[in-house]
Amino acid sequence: MAARTVFKKWKKFHGILYNHLTRSHSKGMTLTFLGTGVATGIVLYNVSSSKVIAAQTMLNVSNFMAQPITSVDKLQENPDDMKTKMELLILKIQADFCKQLESLEDDNSHFKVDRWARAEGGGGITCVLQNGTVFEKAGVNISVVSGLLPPGAIQQMRARGKQIDEGSLPFFAAGVSAVIHPRNPMVPTIHFNYRYFEIENKDGSIQWWFGGGTDLTPYYLNEEDVKHFHSTLKEACDKHNLSYYAKFKKWCDDYFYINHRGECRGVGGIFFDDLDIPSQNEAFLFVKSCAEAVIPSYIPLVKLHKNDGYGYAERQWQLLRRGRYVEFNLIYDRGTKFGLYTPGARYESILMSLPLNAKWEYMHEPNPNSEEAKLVEVLKNPKDWLNST
């Protein structure tokens, strides 16, 4: 029925267009026909009289988890603005990843979609799946926020070496983040976060940069899994700069380090911050490649291990390692701290990354030569996964 209706409308439009072209041609006008496709409009230019008949390119939002934060009209009016490009990218990354995760659930579990608005400007879309058969908790968020950044948040940026004016400054930030806590201990946890930020100094100058990364936190070490994960990220990096993977892999190992435990949170991946080279568009394309590498780096691992057998001991170890995950996020993670400093912060979305269940035991140590001890050894001594034997 829908296809028949579309066809009838197209025939009607085609007739109008044909009549217009015929009349115009008989009057000696020169016309140019541009644009075809499902989401592309028709543009007719009457060169001799400078009259324009235009149907703007239509933005198809039906595949997103919810309506964009910015109005569709504004997004369509500013297709080349980096704020528009980033919002559309993160909406797509969120939707694609959520649909992949849902497809792996055995009981038809779905994400709860929570679109929220921020009084100070912008808002976000929080998608959470809890108590699934495959994923105990999975959260995939986007946020698109703007307004005035308070002195506390500015000070955090200045502490990282950013040359930013003091005081409250106008800002825009857009990003996507996700943390997946699987039910089966043989399936690793994944985290990723990709974001764009711009800030306006008091003289009107705009500073912009990108940040983000993807990292893996297994509970039991499977080296082939880790090599697949890292090789997928390296392939994404190599498309843009052959030095990126090694540089950002080390940055990831250094960043996701639980100092008071003397160990990394997981087996790493890539991480970068304050990326503002070589150009805005090239930096954006690099971030796009990294974000699009999440599904091929992780989904095959879930499919491979979601039905692996495990027992009580493996579950208890998983809960202990989740405790380490919580410690890092609440004590060290800059993104968590920045979110809490931002006016109008939405704490449910910020703390979405925490697992549904975790555990702490006093002075726990794994048995020597056990599979658990094998993992801890790697966490204390990060490896070069792609060049090790």
Is residue 191 annotated as a catalytic residue, yes or no?
Answer: yes
Q: Which residues contact 126 (CB under 8 A, 6 or more apart)?
A: 113, 114, 115, 116, 139, 141, 346, 348, 349, 352
For residues 32 and 45, the answer to whether their CB atoms sit within 8 Å is yes
Tokens of 37: 């496709």
Q: Which residues contact 16 (CB under 8 A, 6 or more apart)?
A: none
Q: For 55, list phi and psi in degrees, rounded to 5.
A: -120, 115
Torsion sign over Cα 309, 222, 374, 319: negative
Rounded to the nearest angstrom, the gap between the alpha carbon of residue 73 and the centroid of all alpha carbons in its chain is 23
Question: Would you state the torsion angle of the CA atoms of residues 97, 214, 80, 61, taken in this order, to the nearest 10 degrees?
Answer: 10
Tokens of 324: 């380490």
Catalytic residue chosen out of the listed positions 181, 191, 228, 240: 191
Per-residue three-class SS string for 273-306: EEECCCCHHHHHHHHHHHHHCHHHHHHHHHHHHC
DSSP string of 98-124?
HHHHHHH-SS----EEEEEE-TTSEEE
Radius of gyration of the chain (CA): 25
Alpha helix positions (H), 269-382: 280-292, 294-305, 312-331, 334-341, 347-350, 371-380
Q: Which residues form the catalytic set?
A: 191
